[in-house]
Every structure is written in structure tokens, then in C-alpha cells.
Chains A and B, each alone.
Chain A
């Protein structure tokens, strides 16, 4: 087995790691392009319902989110286990939706305001009562384009 005998004279040429940084940068750019900044902390637990016919949201920048679900375990001691509405970063009631929609509208550019979509992200075990309230409030604010958040497969 002379193949494996070490001669001691020959040294293996070191693997150049110069291209390693390029590879990692490539990965970095991939993630920078495909992901988006997590804009707010999730304070309610949401497991989206299933719907096989769900379609992709066209303009992500024109959508605002209303989260509905039970508070996360950490906050249950403070807020209880009843489903709550989360707007931006805090728990709100149905009456606050009006201000929220007005603020969201204000933040969009003039010509895009008509295309604003309100995305209702609700847990699948939430009762429809709270969602009906939200829907009625949205109608009153004439934010009529809505989307029920749902995942495509189980």
C-alpha cells in the first residue's frame, strides 16, 4: 500500500478559500431578494385555514394586515385566551379599525389608494362573530377590497 504512505516531502496544495466569500454573498443576495423585513411582532397565534383555490397577493406593498387570533402564550396571562385583533403592534378593538384604515390609506400614494387590499389573517378556530364585526367596520370605512389569508395545502 505504497499509495497511502506519507512521503513527508510532498505537501498537499491548500484549497483556495477565496471563492468561498463569493458563494456566501450569492446566498446573501438570494435571501435579500426573496424575503421581506418582518415589520411587526406577531402577538397572536395564527394558523391559517386551508383553501385549495387561494391565489397570490398581487401587490404586497399595497396591503395592510389585520391579525385575529388568540394571544401568544407569553401574553395570555395579561390578555386572556379570547381571540383578539392585532393591528400593527398592539391589541386593538373593532372601533380602532377606522383609524388604522385611515392611517394606512394616508401612507399609500394617491393613485394606489383604490387598490389597497386589507388582508384578514385569522386563526382557523376563530369564530365568525369577530370577523363579521371586522368586515362590517371595513364596509363602513369603505375599504372593500379584502383578502382572506389562507394556505394552499394542508
Chain B
């Protein structure tokens, strides 16, 4: 019979191996699912995981991976700090929206003036907007002990209403024939977050995401703040003794994750999306939570997880279009990924023993 034995310390090998194992399991059971739907499982898996990278049209898909992955990585890195310290910001989607609104508003305020200073100001406004939105649950938690999970989540719905009212009101394009949505920032050179090299998919958001990954890595492994974050997550009492001010830590973690989510929103609204529209947000803030955990809350892991998530999105679209796979099957497979990750996580903390029948 099979027994689980708790490891004295989490296995370093399995910490790294479980995400890969989860991917393999997802491919296998996903393949079974596709088989049950009457599709060739090998072809389907190849379409989802490899076609975006190696097919005939990979020159188009590879840049798209960056565009799709950058906001996920940016948001997930921010979340990972809080998650490590036991601070649960679930409302990144709202902070993403508010960051986009604030950044876009700054850009639109200058229209049609052209100046190099506009885009930096927008970036600042985007980060600030996201940060302030995240500070609401942060301050409420510190001052009144409210639950930041609930408050941050609820504020997503508030942000969505704010977005709708902005797209229909204050930020609406005056030349838009009465249709909702702001002016297209991508067509306003001073405010546009365009590709730095044409056809590469590399926009400022991608660059920022990569820089943030490096910063996060250094901070977590070398800086005293990173140490405090890790300590607070592992042992709040020990952290208190080490001089960590829990209230301040909460505010910093919330503010940081909010600012990064806001940045992601700004880069999206000024570039790929182009305008503030009623349904500008497509769930990056929520998917980033999966990305953060899939990446083990580790900056490099998050980078890989973000790339993998982007891959399944884009590959999933190809599979829908080329193979006639329903969207639900793709989503099911994405869900499997997180499910298997959590399931095989048991190997990190437990050793599997095959005991003989007499034992037990």
C-alpha cells in the first residue's frame, strides 16, 4: 500500500520538478479529453503547445506570446510578494483597470499635444492609480482589520463600473459618433505604447516585465525586504521578533502589487488594446494568480509560467480555429494545469512510500 510520509523539509528537487510534471500530466489527460471529443490528441497537443512556437506562422505568434504574457508576468510578480508574506491581494484585475484609466486619462488630457514627456507621465499615473486602488484594502486591513481578500475582490466590480462610466463619459472619444470608448491611444504618437522593433511584439510593457523579474529576484534573494517578506510568510512570530512591522509590510505588498497591476493596465491600454472601452479587461488580473502559483511565487518561475499560460491561450485559439475544438475544452485544460500542480505538490512536502502489506 502507498503511504505518505512528511518530509522534514520540502524537497528541493520536487519544488522544481512538480510544475514540469503538472504540465506533462495536463498534456496526457488533456489528450484523453481531446480523444473523447473525437480529435487526434497528438495533433491537438501539438497545436496548442508547439504551433505558436514552431509552425509556419510562428513569426506572427511568437511576438503575440510576449504581448499576452507580459501583463500576466508583471501582475503575477507583484502578487507573489504579498502571497509569500500571507497577504492576499485577489483584486489585481481592479487595480489593472484603474491603472489603465488613470494612465489613459493623463494621455488624453494632453491630446493633441506632442511631447516626449507624456508617455512617462502616463506610466507614472498608471502605477499610481493601481497602487492607490490597492491601498484601499491595504489601509482598511491595517486600520480596521478587514479581510483584504474580500475587499480587494469586491473592488474589482467597482473598478468595472468605473471603467464603464469612463468609457461612456469622461474619457469618451468626442469624435466617436456617440459610440462608447475613448480615443485610440495607439494612434496618438506621444501616448502610444508601440512595438519598439516592428514585428517583434516587444513593447514597453514587455521590457518592464523583464526588468521587474530581475528586480524581484534580487530583492527576494539579496535584500532585507525580501527576507522580511519570506520570513513573514513562514513564521509571522519570528518576523515580529526580527523587527518586521506587519502593518507596513501589508501596505508595501499591497501597494507594490497594485502599482505593477496598474502598470500592466497602462501598457495594455496604450498599446495592444489602444482605448479605454467598456470591456477593456479580459481577466489578466485573475489569470495572474494562477501564474504566480504555477511559477512557485519565484520570479523566474513566474516568467516561465506566464509564457506557458500565454502559450495555451494562443495555442488554444489556433486549436479552436483549425481543429474545431470548443473553447470550454481549452479552458478545462488550463484548469487542469493548476489542478495537477496543486495535486502533485504533495510530493514536495511528502515522501511516497510503498509499504508492505503487514505495515500500516
Q: Are A and B associated in one complex? A: no
Which B residues have a C-beta under 8 Å from some C-beta of A?
Answer: none
